Amino acid sequence: MIETISLGRDFKVRGTLVPAVRDLSFRVGAGEFVGCLGPNGAGKSTTIKMLTGILTPTHGRALVAGLDPTRQRKALARRIGVVFGQRTTLWWDLPLRDSFELVRLLYKVDRNRFRQRLAELTEVLELAPFLRTPVRQLSLGQRMRGDITAALLHDPEVLVLDEPTIGLDVVAKAEVRSFLARLNAERGTTVLLTTHDLGDIERLCRRVLLIDHGRLAFDGSVAELRALVPGQESIEDVVAHLYLSSTPAAPRTPRRTPDADPPTVTA
């Protein structure tokens, strides 16, 4: 469903080319739930932006739902949903319901399907109390549920989320997580998310990609990730250890080659 081949992006900073992402190759199958970890500035967001067509890669290529994100950006937009935790895609001054109506029209979603889908999402995400509230007056948790709904109204095959739980309280976080798990289990939607919250990883992701210094440093299950650093109790400690010991020159092992078998899925 998602495939990258030696994907890379350089940025020119004061005249010199700095690679933000380099030689990134991985494959995500249909129905997988994959979490993307990495320290700040490691290249997670740049990767997500290349996969969604926002940024044009300078090296390699990507295929999402069989489409080239750069050349077929508009076609891809109809088949994927994107959620940014740090910013909204909703219309700030309009009631939430009106933003959804706009999404329907922009994505040309059939009216009946839209009504049905919105009813389902309204029920599951408990949107009813604030459907008529302007987006600017929503709490962060409400806004995030609204953003997730907007990203799913056109029934995408792939959902990409960039830090979807950032800034949410414990209850809101739990709601978002259980919704995403259901979406993946019941509809088979492929989910790729980035996060700094290891709770997201432990509770949701059967597979973890660790990106560090723009490279893929680890690709495997949560259990395999734990096994990398023996003797650490919590996953936080494991990841902190990995971040601290990282150097740009030597990517950590074990590093799967892109052609290796997909990792075992641990339920």
Partner 1 sequence: MGSYLLLAWTWARASAQYRTSFAVSIVSSFAINALDAVAIGIVFLHVTTLGGFSLREVMFLYGTGGVAFAVADTLFGNIERLSQHIKAGTFDTMLIRPVSPFVQMAADGFGAHRIGRLAQAVIVLSLALPVVPWSRAWMVPLMILTGVVIFTAVFTLGAALQFLLVDAPEIANAFTYGGVTLTQYPLSVYGDQLVRAVTFIVPLAFVNWQPALYVLDRPDPLGLPAWFRFAAPLAALLLAGCAALAWRAGIRRYRSTGS
- Note whether 72 binds partner 1 by CB under 8 A: no
Measure the CA–CA gap between 71 and 53, rounded to whole angstroms.
Answer: 8
- Note whether 49 binds partner 1 by CB under 8 A: yes
CB of 170 to partner 1, least distance (A): 23
Which residues, numbered 124-153, are part of the site for partner 1 (CB under 8 A)?
A: 134
Phi-psi region of 245 (alpha: psi -120 to 50; beta: other; left: phi over 0): alpha
- Note whether 45 binds partner 1 by CB under 8 A: yes
Tokens of 105: 């029209």
Residue of 7, 67, 77, 205 interacting with partner 1 (CB under 8 A)? 77
Number of residues that bind partner 1 (CB under 8 A): 35
CB of 60 to partner 1, least distance (A): 15
Phi-psi region of 64 (alpha: psi -120 to 50; beta: other; left: phi over 0): beta
- Note whether 176 binds partner 1 by CB under 8 A: no
- Note whether 156 binds partner 1 by CB under 8 A: no
Identify which of residues 56 and 116 has a Cβ nearer to partner 1 in the complex. 56
Residue of 33, 84, 100, 218 interacting with partner 1 (CB under 8 A)? 84
Chain centroid to CA 28: 12
- Note whether 53 binds partner 1 by CB under 8 A: yes
- Nearest partner of 151 among 186, 93, 193, judged by Cα: 193
Measure the CA–CA gap between 241 and 223, rounded to whole angstroms.
Answer: 16
Measure the CA–CA gap between 160 and 2, rounded to whole angstroms.
Answer: 11
CB of 76 to partner 1, least distance (A): 8
Angle at 25 between CA 50 and CA 27, to 5 degrees: 90
Tell how strand 33-37 and strand 190-194 pair up: parallel
CB of 52 to partner 1, least distance (A): 6
- Note whether 165 binds partner 1 by CB under 8 A: no
Kindly write down the DSSP assignment for every residue of 36-105, as one continuous string.
EE--TTSSHHHHHHHHTTSS--SEEEEEETTB-TTTTHHHHHHHEEEEESSS--S-TTSBHHHHHHHHHH
Tell how strand 33-37 and strand 207-212 pair up: parallel
- Note whether 14 binds partner 1 by CB under 8 A: no
- Note whether 243 binds partner 1 by CB under 8 A: no
- Nearest partner of 180 among 195, 162, 197, 193, judged by Cα: 193
CB of 54 to partner 1, least distance (A): 5
Fill in the per-residue mask, 98 to 127: x = in contact with partner 1 (CB under 8 A), - = not in contact: x---x--xxxx-------------------
Segment lying near partner 1 (by CB under 8 A), choices 29-37, 54-62, 115-123, 213-221: 54-62
Binding positions for partner 1, rule: CB under 8 A: 11, 41, 45-46, 49, 52-56, 70, 73-75, 77-78, 80, 82, 84, 86-89, 91-94, 98, 102, 105-108, 134, 162
